[in-house]
Every structure is written in C-alpha cells, then in structure tokens.
Structure 1
C-alpha cells in the first residue's frame, strides 16, 4: 500500500498540534542574561516538494538528522543560535552520512512557550537557503527541557529545483 505524501504530512501535523497543546510545567527560577544553552535532537524529514517531484522519507529511503547546537540568549526575547546537523541516509542497505548542515540563526521567544528560529542554511551537498522553525517546550525541568519543533527548510542551488520540506524534531535543551 503506497502512502500519500499529503496523508503523511496531515498525520504529522495533527501529532505536532497535539504535542504543542500540552501544557509545559512552570519554572520558578528567574533567568539571568546573557545566557548560553545547548541542545541535541533527532530530526525526521517528512516530505519535500519541488517543481518536478514530491519525495517522502520512510518510502524508498530513510533519512535522519541529529541537530547539535548552542543558543546565546541576549535577553528573554532574542537570541542567536548555531546548529550543526549531520544527516544519515539509508538506501538499498547502504547507510552513510549524506550531508552536514551548518545552520546559524536568530531566535525569538513568542507567547505561550513558543519560539521562532529563523536560520540560514549551508549544506555540504552544495545546497543553501533558509529554514523557518517553530518550536515549543513540552516538558520543563530545572536543568533541562524537552521540546518539539517543526522546521520548514527552503533550499536552492547545486543544479536542483528549489524545494521546500517539512520535518519534525524532538530534542532536549540544557
């Protein structure tokens, strides 16, 4: 049975909405700035759209990214983030690091625990672009937080059509 990319996107959007609607536990400790935080995560690209094709993860191949980064918060609303994302792709019983993404960006804390990240994107595959990301902490602790985010990578270059993708990322920030 072949799954429709739009059905997969719809299911992950529903899951993402449910996770975002969970209340995060309050943190009583007052933050001091500037503040440095780090994070690690697992990123699953879901679907990529371009002029000539639509590709979905989990069908003919499996790709997974492992974002690692540092955030420097200037104040409680604005920060800078630097992220590196190695991606492993498994295709026809061969797995390899297929790309490394260098991903600096601006962080903006929004209301109700959401954060927007506007990132530039430079890939070792020769592609470049930008990635808007919306994130939400789903569980707060005194020394770490669990979060979920949804990136929307927009890519150009390397003799390929422009593309936009959707992914889902689960991580821990500390």
Structure 2
C-alpha cells in the first residue's frame, strides 16, 4: 500500500497498538486491542475529527466535474450547496436561485472574464459568510450567474487558506 505509515493510536496497559494510516483514511476511528480499526463516525461530527484536533478543515469530495472537485459549501451559516473548487477563479460565483434562496442583496454589477475569454457583466451580491467544515470567510462579494451555471468556490475564499486537493478530500490549512 503506497503512502502508508505506522501510527501509534492507542496505548493500553503499556502496550502500543499501531495500525497503518493512509492520507485518505477517515479521521474518526480507533484501533482496538486486537489491532482492528473501529469506525467512530457516529461520535464525530460528519464522521471526522474536529478541526481543532487535526489542525485543518476537511471537505469530502462528493464527485469530480471534468476533474474539478465538487464539495459542500455552507452560505450564511444555514444553506449548503455543492460547489466546484475552482483554483483558477478569482472570485466565488453562485446561481440566481441560490442568491434568491439566501436573500442575497445585490450591491452592484461587475465585468467578469470567463475561462473561455468572454467578458460578461453579472450582478454582484454580498454574502455574510462562506464556510467549509468550519473554515470561514466573512463579508464577500460574489458574482451571481444564470441558473445554467455551476457554483464556483474561487480564490476570494480559497486564498485565505493553504489548500491540499487529494483524491477524496480537500484540506484547508489556516494561514
């Protein structure tokens, strides 16, 4: 198994119990006295350790769209949407229906250059907060696109964290 390492997980009666740990493993588990992994997902929020315990925030990749990760993102603390993690986008883009559901106030309009080079004008709204597993950025302006577009989590959020995109997760490290 490439990328595995022995990790001391638990000491019982002076005996260290170790198990292989892989970067993609669930963070919420224990190893019992016979060395078997026991999933503690029901005890941990979202099946993962709390960010304070691991030092970073973690988002599970739900799927990939053209190779780009899609993760759950929570807006204003109460609504969660699937968004593309777009490291090439300078800003975050939401759809009109998302903006309406979130009661996002329109604060203006902006000219945006799309990936294909087109320049388009879109309304701009103000979001109170964007959160991924506790990683939060407050008071962001976001572009509001037609509902045919996909939501993009851009560098205005991502740039506040050092990120690692792995096979099944995206890790957000506070700067």
TM-score, normalised to structure 1's length?
Answer: 0.26
Larger radius of gyration, structure 1 or 2? 2
TM-score, normalised to structure 2's length?
Answer: 0.26
**Which one has the bigger strand percentage?**
1
